[in-house]
A and B are shown apart, each in its own frame.
Chain A
Amino acid sequence: MIASLPPGLLLIGGALVVPFLRGWLRWAWMLALPVVGFADLFGLEHGVRVTVALFDYELQPVRVDRLSLAFGYIFHIAAFLGILYAVALNRTAEQVAALVYMGSAIGALFAGDLITLFLYWEITAVASAFIVWAGNTEASYRAGMRYLAIQVVSGVLLLSGALLQIAETGSIAFGQTGLQSLAGLLIFLAFGIKCAFPFLHNWLQDAYPEASPTGTVFLSAFTTKLAVYGLARGFAGEDILIWIGALMTAFPIFYAVIENDLRRVLAYSLNNQLGFMVVGIGIGTELALNGTVAHAFAHILYKALLFMSMGAVLYRVGTVKGSELGGLYKSMPWTAAFCIVGAASISAFPLFSGFVSKSLIMSAAAGDGLLFIWFVLLFASAGVFHHSGIKIPYFAFFAHDSGKRCKEAPLPMLLAMGATAVLCVGIGVWPEPLYALLPHPVDYVPYTTAHVVTQLQLLLFSALAFAVLMRTGLYPPELRSVNLDIDWIYRRGLPAAGRMLARASVPLRNALAFAGAQTALGFFDRMIRLAGPQSRMARTWQTAGMVGLILIVMAVYLVLALV
């Protein structure tokens, strides 16, 4: 019976039961959902499994191939680990939102057409916003509003692109799309927002660190990797992705070095890791696409592990600011050890998962003779070790002893971190099972003398650079601060411009009143009410909420227009 359900629906449906279950029964239920869903994937035959007629069009809610399956496996694994970790905190709203979010992300992987994809796309957006809000602070509420507005823009772009494609080609199928048409461009932008392309990236660093210790673990795995999947499906081999990806690997790491909130540091490094995957998609060869999928697989695990370890610190200490932490290895030795496993994996140390996945992309870039790109990726590889590999464990668990003493992380968190760490090392030591899942046949040997030695040289000399900068006092200290990023434009720039416009229009309004121009007067009064200093729009979160609302209305309208 369950086997006939489209992938993902089991988690979405299962979420509805969660509020009625209590205690261990609820946890058993929630943990069982991804296990059963995972097992179901093995029974799926390749090809289009289900079709549903929608007026003149044939929806394909379930389309199975090696690309969707590879992402499907890791999404289920990440769901299980995230739920296990979340046993530590009993937050019903977050659990329901997370199950719906993860289920719809899984559903989207198997969507064979753009309308189904859009529906799942929007459910992930809304459900994940609830996960941000479950952070339950004023900051998380506001960040969640901004987050939702941006996610909905992505959904509207996707829908517009889909409708254009239908109008142009008569096909709603989601496959290789390319950038030749406006439809393709809109879909590309929709994916680009969710993939945190440069200048479209800031929702990620803004919202993820505001969720709860457990919420961020859920969020880190799905949205951006769904976008990576979409790009791999629709835009493989588009050269521009090579440049976008290279930029993504490089610029966030500068922010990561100076950011104080360690979960925000991880969000910047998440952005950097996405860059590697995007480069792989841009190169588009079999080796490169294998690299992208392998790296997404490995990345979901080690990034979740890093967010879990920082979540445990946040849960026990109440903060993850580098300026407040240090010496926690004494209180939380297991968490520190698991964090180091995650750090070694993201840094691509031999015997850890990043080593066997990132090298596919590096080799693909080198094989295509992309010298400049290869230099950038190598710079980013050294940089990621520097800020994720060293900075995160160093400032949280070592550095100068902050004097903070706390209990070790709760057992469910330790179990989840332990299981994730085992997978990170397992993939690194024994990559063949992962390679066997990749979309194309793999003919690659990661463990050669040259590769191991050169990688160790790169990493240990990066460590040396850190040590030298630390001991000479040149390393910038962790400071309580925020760093301006693109979000400044909509959090400060636009509201300020609106207020200025409103202020400037007051004298103009008076002049018009004097001249007796009643129609123009009405317009100005309305504008001042809308955008003036006392207005609702002057408060940023409400602007974001309103934009979101308008876009939802637009989206509904577009669907009705299609029908």
Chain B
Amino acid sequence: MTENASRKENPPERRYWLDDKRNVTKIYRGLLVVCAGLFAADLLYDKHAKFAVEEWFGFYGLYGFVACVFLVLAAKQLRKLLMRSEDYYDR
């Protein structure tokens, strides 16, 4: 709160491009388009695969997506087990 208050007293601050939520959405949509393009790119080149699984269409993209969703959701569950208050070791 104090930071917000002090900001108001300062001369009007420059608005950055990213301050506009619509621009963040533009980035998000851009990322979706790039990902779709990369997914489709699997039609265009030879993978020289060492493992059969690499030949699956869009394997790397799907694996990366699933891996990260799993990582984050699993870590979120781990918090229940591992997370303590910040002063845990100081008490």
Contact indicator B3/A458 (Cβ below 8 Å) = no
Contact indicator A482/B65 (Cβ below 8 Å) = no
Contact indicator A474/B73 (Cβ below 8 Å) = yes
Known: A456-B38, A461-B64, A476-B75. A481 touches B86 (CB 8 A): yes
Q: Which residue of A lies closest to B1 (CB)?
A: A403
Give 1 or 0 for each of A353-392: 1 = CB within 8 Å of chain B CB: 0000000000000110101001000110011001000000
Contact indicator B83/A465 (Cβ below 8 Å) = no
**Cβ contact of B62, chosen from A253, A330, A461, A466, cutoff 8 A:** A461
Contact indicator A461/B60 (Cβ below 8 Å) = yes
Chain A min CB distance to B39 (Å): 7
For residue A253, which residues in chain B have a CB less than 8 angstroms away from its CB? 71
Contact indicator A403/B61 (Cβ below 8 Å) = no
For residue B47, which residues in chain A have a CB less than 8 angstroms away from its CB? 450, 454
* Bound Cα distance A467, B35 (Å): 12
Residue A489 lies at the interface, judged by CB distance under 8 Å to chain B: no
**Cβ contact of A461, chosen from B35, B72, B79, cutoff 8 A:** B35
Q: Which residue of A lies closest to B75 (CB)?
A: A257
Contact indicator B72/A386 (Cβ below 8 Å) = yes
Known: A403-B4, A479-B83. A330 touches B67 (CB 8 A): no
Q: Which residue of A lies closest to B50 (CB)?
A: A366
Give 1 or 0 for each of A467-493: 1 = CB within 8 Å of chain B CB: 111010011100111111100000110
* Bound Cα distance A405, B8 (Å): 13
Chain B min CB distance to A234 (Å): 29
For residue A448, which residues in chain B have a CB less than 8 angstroms away from its CB? 48
For residue B75, which residues in chain A have a CB less than 8 angstroms away from its CB? 254-255, 257-258, 476
Contact indicator B78/A254 (Cβ below 8 Å) = yes
Main secondary structure of the interface of A (DSSP, over half): helix
* Bound Cα distance A467, B29 (Å): 10
Query: How many of chain B's residues have a CB under 8 angstroms from any CB in A?
Result: 50
For residue A492, which residues in chain B have a CB less than 8 angstroms away from its CB? 89
Query: How many of chain A's residues have a CB under 8 angstroms from any CB in B?
Result: 56
Residues B62-90 near A (CB distance < 8 A): 62-65, 67-69, 71-76, 78-79, 81-86, 88-89
Give 1 or 0 for each of A452-467: 1 = CB within 8 Å of chain B CB: 0111111111111111
For residue B16, which residues in chain A have a CB less than 8 angstroms away from its CB? 329-330
Chain A min CB distance to B87 (Å): 8
Residues A390-408 near B (CB distance < 8 A): 398, 401-405
* Bound Cα distance A382, B89 (Å): 32
* Bound Cα distance A194, B10 (Å): 50
Chain A min CB distance to B55 (Å): 11
Residue B46 lies at the interface, judged by CB distance under 8 Å to chain A: yes
Residue A169 lies at the interface, judged by CB distance under 8 Å to chain B: no
Contact indicator A465/B65 (Cβ below 8 Å) = yes
Chain A min CB distance to B28 (Å): 5
* Bound Cα distance A329, B16 (Å): 10
Residue A180 lies at the interface, judged by CB distance under 8 Å to chain B: no
Residue A449 lies at the interface, judged by CB distance under 8 Å to chain B: yes
Contact indicator B74/A379 (Cβ below 8 Å) = no
Give 1 or 0 for each of A276-305: 1 = CB within 8 Å of chain B CB: 000000000000000000000000000000
Chain B min CB distance to A499 (Å): 14
Q: Which residue of B lies closest to A456 (CB)?
A: B38
**Cβ contact of B78, chosen from A258, A386, A461, cutoff 8 A:** A258
Contact indicator B82/A483 (Cβ below 8 Å) = yes
Chain A min CB distance to B78 (Å): 6
Top-5 shortest CB links A-B: A403-B3, A465-B68, A257-B75, A366-B50, A457-B60
User: In the complex, given contacts A378-B63, A482-B83, A483-B82, what are 16 additional A-B residue pairs having Cβ atoms less than 8 angstroms apart?
Assistant: A383-B67, A403-B3, A450-B47, A453-B41, A453-B45, A454-B47, A460-B34, A461-B65, A462-B64, A465-B69, A469-B68, A471-B28, A480-B85, A481-B79, A481-B86, A485-B82
Measured CB to CB, the residues of A under 8 A from B are 253-255, 257-258, 329-330, 366-367, 369, 371, 374, 378-379, 382-383, 386, 398, 401-405, 448-450, 453-469, 471, 474-476, 479-485, 491-492
Measured CB to CB, the residues of B under 8 A from A are 3-4, 7, 14, 16, 18-19, 28, 31-32, 34-35, 38-39, 41-42, 45-48, 50-51, 53-54, 58, 60-65, 67-69, 71-76, 78-79, 81-86, 88-89
Query: Can you list 26 A-B pairs, Cβ within 8 angstroms, ordered by A?
Result: A254-B74, A255-B75, A257-B72, A371-B51, A382-B71, A386-B72, A401-B19, A403-B4, A450-B46, A454-B54, A456-B38, A457-B39, A457-B42, A457-B60, A457-B61, A458-B63, A460-B38, A461-B63, A464-B65, A465-B67, A476-B75, A476-B79, A482-B84, A483-B82, A484-B83, A491-B89
